[in-house]
Amino acid sequence: MYKYIYWYKFASPTQDYKPVILLTGGSSEVGVATAKLLSSHPEYRVVVTARDTATLILQIPENDHVWIMPLDIVDEESRSKAVEKIFERWGRVDIYINTSDICYRSSLEETRDEDDLLHMQKNYLGPVSLIRTLLPKMRKNGKGKIINISSVSGLLAFPTMSSYSASKFALEGAMESLWYELRPFGIDVALVQPGFIHSAKHSRIKFSDTKPNQEHPYEDMYTSMIPFVASLKNRSLSTPQSIAELTYNVIRTERPPLWVPASFDAEFFYYFKRWFPRRVFLPFFYWLMPNSKNWGHRVTRKHDTIWGVRVIRNLVRYLQRRATVLFGAKKNT
């Protein structure tokens, strides 16, 4: 969709220098696809970073415009060392692309504190701190782009993904604020928001080492959500390659938008959340989740109302409140 809406704003670099792109999380599936795509465009110079560069170098060969560099996004020293080296060799960073992430599965109750912290460090604090290091120099150039691969989980929080969603919400909030702050300096901020991507990521998803709980209160939730998400991912038309192509289009776009939904489901969730009344939206989504009416049934008795009835009751209450507000406003005028 993006390609068709923004085609008239696409431009190739015309400067007398090749813009420098810094890509973190280069070993992620989306990272590798983006790095491969960018390395086929010699009009850019690209620095691809990962913690383990040995495997990355086999996938993306280095040359005069592709540079593979070790960088651990959560390590302050590693971040500043990498930035220093890039400025020493190429003198600038014009575009920063962040694809780093981790995603553990667990209910909030069963998530370990250290896993919450790891999500925040990897998905939010690390990238934001790197942006902070880059900004003084990018600002002086009077142009540039900061592109984050976010997620639909930065718009909607799904059950058993609280840490991941919290870190993506944090990233989205910070980038929205940054969009305003950098507008006077000609630096664009964009959040590419994939929904479900057809990738092998699902098989690698880890679980927070849960605190032992004999009751297994969330077991039904896990056993319904895991195959559900896996099947949505398998059916998705969106791939790491399509996300890489979209990111490339964002790079080429003059003044790209802040929010760039990156798949059909992401577009759907984006408009659904904006236009649907929240009182209805949450129960409706709960109802859509697989087998949700039986979640927790072994340890709670709180399932005495039929779903459809509860949704309609909430809708009626919502309409009643809206009507009261409207009539009240008329009386006062």
Ligand X SMILES: NC(=O)c1ccc[n+]([C@@H]2O[C@H](COP(=O)([O-])OP(=O)(O)OC[C@H]3O[C@@H](n4cnc5c(N)ncnc54)[C@H](OP(=O)(O)O)[C@@H]3O)[C@@H](O)[C@H]2O)c1
Least distance from ligand X to the Cβ atom of residue 85, Å: 17
**Cβ(150)–Cβ(103) under 8 Å?**
no
CB of 79 or CB of 233, closer to ligand X: 233
Q: Is 242 in the site for ligand X (CB under 6 A)?
A: no
Q: Is 247 in the site for ligand X (CB under 6 A)?
A: no
CA dist 112 and 134 (Å) reads 32
**Partners of 253 in the β-ladder:** 10
**Angle of the 278-288 helix axis to the 307-332 helix axis, nearest 10:** 170
CB of 125 or CB of 197, closer to ligand X: 197
Q: Which of residues 162-201 bind ligand X (CB under 6 A)?
A: 194, 196-197, 199, 201
CB of 99 or CB of 242, closer to ligand X: 99
Residue 75 exposed, middle or buried by CB count within 10 Å (0-12, 13-18, 19+): middle
Q: Which residues contact 251 (CB under 8 A, 6 or more apart)?
A: 21, 44, 95, 97, 145, 147
> Which residue in the set 43, 52, 114, 209 belongs to the binding site for ligand X (CB under 6 A)?
52
Q: How many residues bind ligand X (CB under 6 A)?
A: 23
**Cβ(127)–Cβ(72) under 8 Å?**
no
Q: Identify each DSSP E strand in the chain by its residue range.
A: 20-24, 45-50, 66-70, 95-98, 104-105, 144-149, 187-193, 206-207, 259-261
Least distance from ligand X to the Cβ atom of residue 153, Å: 7
Sign of CA dihedral 307, 308, 310, 315: positive
What mask, x for binding ligand X by CB under 6 A, covers residues 262 to 291?
A: ------------------------------
| Alpha-carbon torsion angle 195, 197, 202, 206, nearest 10 | -50
> Which residue in the set 34, 39, 99, 247 belongs to the binding site for ligand X (CB under 6 A)?
99
Q: How many CA atoms lie within 13 A of 255 on its CB side?
A: 7
CB of 100 or CB of 162, closer to ligand X: 100
What mask, x for binding ligand X by CB under 6 A, covers residues 116 to 135?
A: ------x-------------
Least distance from ligand X to the Cβ atom of residue 11, Å: 26
Q: Is 101 in the site for ligand X (CB under 6 A)?
A: yes
Q: Which stretch binds ligand X (CB under 6 A): 11-19, 44-52, 127-135, 139-147?
A: 44-52
Helix (H) or strand (E) segment spanning residue 326: helix 307-332
CB of 18 or CB of 238, closer to ligand X: 238
Q: Which positions lie near ligand X, rule CB under 6 A?
A: 25, 27-31, 50-52, 99-102, 122, 149, 151, 194, 196-197, 199, 201, 233, 240
